Amino acid sequence: MNMQMHNPPHPGEALREFCIEPLGISVTEAASALGVSRKTLSAILNGRAGISPEMSIRLAKAFDTSAESWLNQQQQFDLWQARQTGIEEQVRSLNAA
């Protein structure tokens, strides 16, 4: 059974909506607290960059969440995007008939 979410949002959306905006802090302030550049954080928030394992650790510490939750969101997003390419139609099953 495929329990995959339909068109999951980029994790940067959740980061903005549920972590940064409720605190009323700027992207610059959040980036400083995370120890990354404003450009790096902005790329994630705008869906132009993904959340790496290192970033997931930073986010977990800063927002009292788990690194695994951030990586899971990124993985679900990436997997859904990959499936949209039609790659599965290019692959032949090797299971015994």
pLDDT, one tens digit per residue, over 51-70 is 999 999 999 999 999 999 99
Q: Which regions of the chain are under pLDDT 70? A: 1-5, 97
Please give the residue range of the domain that contains residue 68: 11-82
25 within some domain: yes
Q: What is the pLDDT of residue 6?
A: 84
pLDDT at 3: 56
pLDDT of 97 reads 64
Long-range pairs for 50-59: beta carbons < 8 A, 24 or more residues apart: 50/11, 50/74, 50/77, 50/78, 51/11, 51/12, 58/34, 59/15, 59/19, 59/34
Q: In CATH, what number is assigned to the domain containing residue 44?
A: 1.10.260.40
**In contact, 31 and 46? CB cutoff 8 Å:** no
Residue 88 in any domain: the answer is no
Number of folded domains that form the chain:
1
Instruction: Tell me if 4 is assigned to some domain.
Output: no
pLDDT value at residue 4: 58
Residue 39 CB-half CA count within 13 A: 0
The tokens describing 92, both together, are 């032949």
